[in-house]
Amino acid sequence: MAITLKDKMKVLSRARREKIKARTADIVKEQMTLQELRRALKLTQVRVAKELGITQDSVSRLEQRSDLLLSTLRKTIKAMGGNLSLVAKFPDREPVVLSGIAEIEPSPQRQTHRRHVGA
């Protein structure tokens, strides 16, 4: 007969069960949908829509999408009062914060240099 998670948790000490529950809550906090994030910030779809200059229905549809342009996500997070950072994680090195992707204004250190064509 298979052992269920409930069975496994019963044999653990109370301290261990509490530690697992606390870590589970932390993990859940770390991962949210846009809708969950908006609700956690106590914002309405109407308020976010007003900040974005779109309709409430458009915010509802945006929250249901699984594939967004980074620029759309950045604007939505900004409308909620935050800033979006994109982090690349690799198994053999420290995480890298990517810059210059879907930014509203280019980073000062990342400006391109143009060659002047003389007359």
The pLDDT tens digits for 61-117 are: 999 998 999 999 999 999 999 999 999 999 999 999 998 876 655 545 544 444 445
Q: What global pTM score does this model have?
A: 0.62
pLDDT in tens, 16-62: 999 988 888 877 777 889 999 999 899 999 999 999 999 999 999 99
Top CATH class of 13-82 equals mainly alpha
Which residues lie across from 87 on neighbouring strands? 97
Q: Name 94's bridge partners.
A: none
Please state, in angstroms and rounded to a whole number, the distance separating the CA atoms of residues 112 and 109.
9
Dig out the tokens for 75 from the structure.
Answer: 């604007």
Q: What residues does each domain of the chain span? A: 13-82
